[in-house]
A and B are shown apart, each in its own frame.
Chain A
């Protein structure tokens, strides 16, 4: 019997992100929401995924709940295969051992270029300033496939990012290789709180692949500041499952510090 489930936009984003991670692969995990996505995936779907963090934790199995804001604490380095440091951590991505990278973003453009540095103004005199790259630039440069996790807010989807912190396909096909970035790498998916995007092989532009069950294409694209390409068939993404919500709410983030957000509902 179909029934209605209620969840937050953040919970949906994390849950659909967790479903994308492949078991038996390696993933370089960025700070914040990507950590939570990886935790949920490891707990429910991919026991044999090897996570890697830039501070030198290779293959940790994070202790739940998530201690908000931390990266590199004893909880998220727990039961690693190896403990190293940053120069060695980026060696694993630079040599091609990282299948996936997963990053958050302030802004993203049609080519999957990421801004996490500033909004508005100029670099020297920004309107609003944020943390900057951290290790995001290395992750987006080196990993074979980069997954971007971002709230589905129109102002975050811009024709051109205010600052290009971490490279997507730059300005189109062949641009990464021309810039000297490793061959065959680039953004793979954009996971949002309403939809899932990929990238067109030919133009390297963002393509809407699927949307949360119950939403219309128009509802998804209407406030984006650029019009994404549309897949020939737009898929439907089921809402978070009971298991996903239980693990998120009871095990990962019982304080609801990360998973809170705009209320949504959909049928199972």
Chain B
């Protein structure tokens, strides 16, 4: 069920959901019962990501990003996706290069010439909300309000290429910027630990993990490690997202690869350099074929394209553990 609407003002399209429509979705479609939700990535993406969906993810392709889920979306050749590109580095070139994404709310457009050229060529539409603006839109979605005010974006050209509005603040009489709530269709979170019901823990900083989980119609968690539920009750301060927000849990060791998973494994800079070097469709096609289309799933990708030796080495390099438990 997709209650999100695309609204258009002038030239600017934006995703918007009436808070009551979202509440009804939560009432009618989000289960409260703690049932096991552990499924393979293939099933989770097939069941919970549809063509035309708006997706967000936390964190980035270099750090704790849900890269195995992004690759699965590409493998399933989803179409017409709209991405909320916050801390987006390689996700946007890959999703656009694979023909999956056609609209990007920026954020940060992404690394490299490929994605910049795709915007110049008109293959993907970009809207400028800025990182703070997108995070605030998700907070509005998460707080169940239609918008939130902010004292940035004002005076900048981003105002003209987003659906942010300037109004007179009824309290101060000053101009203030409003951004509309964002309720994405799907949020992907890659976490350190989850249980089978969807309770999930991130160690370290995040972009908007809880906001995205609260505001999104569907939430897929991929976890490095599946732990017992009692772990969460022993240390509730460390719970990032409680189970009833989550629709599917995927066990994905090395799910952030080629990025780093803090305190688990380091970034594979050689692989990242290969991503950074992609400039042409031919190079993109070659990368996608080799790393995504030609392998049936994440496990085989790790086995056949990364290899046990490389993974051991990346684990060995993850020497910073302080703060991550």
List chain A positions with a Cβ less than 8 A from chain B.
53-57, 63, 67-75, 77-80, 83-87, 90, 94, 117, 121, 123-138, 141-142, 163-167, 170, 175-176, 178-182
CA distance A137 to B161 in the complex (A): 14
Q: Mark B150-162, 1 if CB is under 8 A from A, else 0.
A: 1111111110110
Least CB distance from B266 to A in Å reads 8
* B214 touches A (CB below 8 Å): no
CB pair A72 B60 closer than 8 Å: yes
Known A70-B267, A83-B204: A135·B131 in contact at CB below 8 Å: yes
Known A74-B260, A87-B136, A133-B130: A123·B157 in contact at CB below 8 Å: yes
- The bracket for how many chain B residues form the interface is 35 or more
Query: Which of chain B's residues have a CB closer than 8 A to the CB of A57?
Result: 205
Residue of B nearest to A130 (CB): B116
Where chain A touches its partner, the secondary structure class is loop
CB pair A134 B322 closer than 8 Å: no
Query: Which of chain A's residues have a CB closer than 8 A to the CB of B116?
Result: 128-130
Residue of B nearest to A86 (CB): B135
Query: Which of chain B's residues have a CB closer than 8 A to the CB of A137?
Result: 130-133, 152-153, 156, 158
Give the 4 A-B residue pairs with the shortest CB-CB distance, closest first: A180-B175, A179-B155, A141-B152, A138-B132
Least CB distance from A148 to B in Å reads 15
CB pair A138 B157 closer than 8 Å: no
Query: Which of chain B's residues have a CB closer than 8 A to the CB of A75?
Result: 320
* B224 touches A (CB below 8 Å): no
Query: Which of chain A's residues have a CB closer than 8 A to the CB of B60?
Result: 71-72
CB pair B132 A135 closer than 8 Å: yes
Choose, from B69-77, B104-112, B246-254, the stretch at the interface.
B104-112
CB pair A180 B166 closer than 8 Å: yes
Instruction: Please pick, from B59, B87, B106, B135, the residue contacting A90 in the complex, using a CB distance under 8 A.
Output: B135
Least CB distance from B229 to A in Å reads 24
Apart from the given pairs A125-B120, A133-B108, A137-B152, 17 other A-B contacts in the complex at a CB distance below 8 Å: A71-B60, A72-B62, A73-B63, A85-B135, A85-B209, A129-B116, A132-B107, A134-B130, A135-B132, A137-B131, A142-B151, A165-B156, A179-B154, A179-B155, A180-B154, A181-B151, A181-B155
Query: Which of chain B's residues have a CB closer than 8 A to the CB of A83?
Result: 204-205, 323
Query: Which of chain B's residues have a CB closer than 8 A to the CB of A165?
Result: 128, 156-158
9 interchain pairs, CB-CB under 8 A = A55-B87, A55-B205, A67-B267, A90-B135, A129-B126, A130-B116, A134-B107, A165-B158, A167-B156
Query: Which of chain B's residues have a CB closer than 8 A to the CB of A84?
Result: 205
Known A74-B204, A132-B106: A80·B151 in contact at CB below 8 Å: no
CA distance A53 to B86 in the complex (A): 14
CB pair B151 A94 closer than 8 Å: yes
CA distance A84 to B202 in the complex (A): 11
* B314 touches A (CB below 8 Å): no
CB pair B267 A73 closer than 8 Å: yes
Residue of B nearest to A181 (CB): B154
* B176 touches A (CB below 8 Å): yes
CB pair B62 A69 closer than 8 Å: yes
Query: Which of chain A's residues have a CB closer than 8 A to the CB of B94?
Result: none
CB pair A74 B263 closer than 8 Å: yes
Instruction: Please pick, from A85, A126, A175, A182, the residue contacting B207 in the complex, using a CB distance under 8 A.
Output: A85
Residue of B nearest to A133 (CB): B130
* B147 touches A (CB below 8 Å): no
Known A70-B267, A79-B322, A80-B323: A131·B130 in contact at CB below 8 Å: no
Which of B60, B107, B130, B177 counts the most A-chain CB atoms under 10 A from its CB?
Answer: B130
Query: Which of chain A's residues have a CB closer than 8 A to the CB of B132?
Result: 54, 86, 90, 135, 137-138
